[in-house]
């Protein structure tokens, strides 16, 4: 899992970043302190954009993914944050069967026919054909899905990320 936005404390160090006094003054003599702030600001900017973000789709008891006993197919959309080029899915389901995304990636569940316990399917680092979104703008992506009969999907969790850890 990626770091939280504040994992390195930048969001919580506001009070520590003050330099100089309250009135404007030349700080050329305090370059070391200024440098710290500038580096931190750049890091904050990066964190804000590619920090982890999740979206949970579905979850309704009226079967937003369709009844367990029937196969279903369609499209799922999600808002990919700026710079996102990696998408992972986690499926929360019961029964037996597969959920196939973009005809390539399959999430499988087999916890026994008739089982009535909620359990995890899989949460894997699937890159589902998502290209990097336009710089700085969230982009709406859509993927095809196909759910097999016998699979009762309750929730689909989406995780966004970058394939690289640094932007600059």
Partner 1 sequence: MTVSIPTVYSLTDLTVGEGIATGQLITPGGLQTIAANHNFIGGNFRPQVCDVFDVDGFGSIAAGGSSYKVLTGTPVLEQLDGRGLTFVGVFTNASGSLASNLRLICGANQGPVVTLAAGATATTVTLTCDTPSSGNFVVGVQAGNYNTDNDTILLTGSFFWSGKTGSQSSSPTSSGFVWAQAAEFADTFPLTVEQVNRFIGGPLTAWNGAPQSIGSLNWDWTFRAPTTTSTSYTEIGRIFLNKRRKTMKIKIGAIGDNGTLKASILGNDVEVITGATGGPDSSFSDLSGMNVNLSSSIDLINSPDLFEVVLYWKSTSGSSAKVTNVNFMVDKS
User: Which residues, numbered 44-73, are part of the site for partner 1 (CB under 8 A)?
Assistant: 44-45, 47-49, 51-66, 72
Q: Please select the residue that binds partner 1; options are 84, 99, 107, 154, rule is CB under 8 A.
A: 154
Query: Which is nearest to 162 in space by CA: 39, 46, 76, 77?
Result: 46
Compute the distance between CA of residue 26 and CA of residue 163 in angstroms, rounded to an integer: 41
Query: Which is nearest to 109 in space by CA: 125, 90, 93?
Result: 93
* Among 34-42, 96-104, 109-117, 124-132, the segment contacting partner 1 (CB under 8 A): 34-42
Closer by beta carbon to partner 1, 60 or else 114:
60
- Polymer length of the chain: 168
User: CB 146 → partner 1: shortest distance, Å?
Assistant: 11
Name residue, tokens 């990696």: 86
User: Which residues inside 100-139 make contact with partner 1, applying CB under 8 A?
Assistant: 118, 135-138
Q: Please select the residue that binds partner 1; options are 68, 81, 101, 130, rule is CB under 8 A.
A: 81
Compute the distance between CA of residue 90 and CA of residue 159 in angstroms, rounded to an integer: 8
User: Which residues inside 6-25 make contact with partner 1, applying CB under 8 A?
Assistant: 6-7, 10-11, 14, 17-21, 23-25
**Size of residue set near partner 1 by CB under 8 A:** 73
- Cα dihedral value 126, 101, 53, 123, nearest 10: -50
User: CB 37 → partner 1: shortest distance, Å?
Assistant: 6
Q: Which residues contact 32 (CB under 8 A, 6 or more apart)?
A: none
Closer by beta carbon to partner 1, 55 or else 98:
55
Query: Which is nearest to 93 in space by CA: 119, 67, 61?
Result: 119
28 near partner 1 (CB under 8 A): yes
């Amino acid at each position: 899992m990626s770091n939280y936005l504040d994992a390195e404390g930048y969001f919580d160090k506001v009070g520590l970043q003050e330099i100089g006094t309250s009135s404007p003054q030349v700080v050329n003599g305090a370059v070391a302190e200024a440098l710290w702030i500038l580096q931190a600001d750049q890091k904050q900017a990066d964190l804000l954009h590619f920090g982890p973000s999740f979206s949970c789709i579905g979850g309704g008891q009226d079967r937003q993914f369709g009844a367990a006993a029937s196969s279903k197919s369609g499209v799922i959309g999600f808002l990919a944050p700026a710079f996102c080029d990696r998408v992972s899915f986690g499926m929360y389901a019961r029964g037996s069967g597969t959920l196939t995304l973009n005809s390539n990636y399959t999430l499988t569940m087999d916890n026994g026919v008739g089982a009535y316990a909620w359990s995890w399917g899989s949460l894997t680092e699937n890159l589902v054909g998502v290209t990097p979104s336009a710089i700085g703008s969230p982009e709406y992506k859509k993927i095809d899905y196909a759910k097999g009969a016998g699979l009762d999907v309750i929730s689909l969790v989406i995780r966004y990320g970058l394939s690289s850890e640094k932007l600059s």
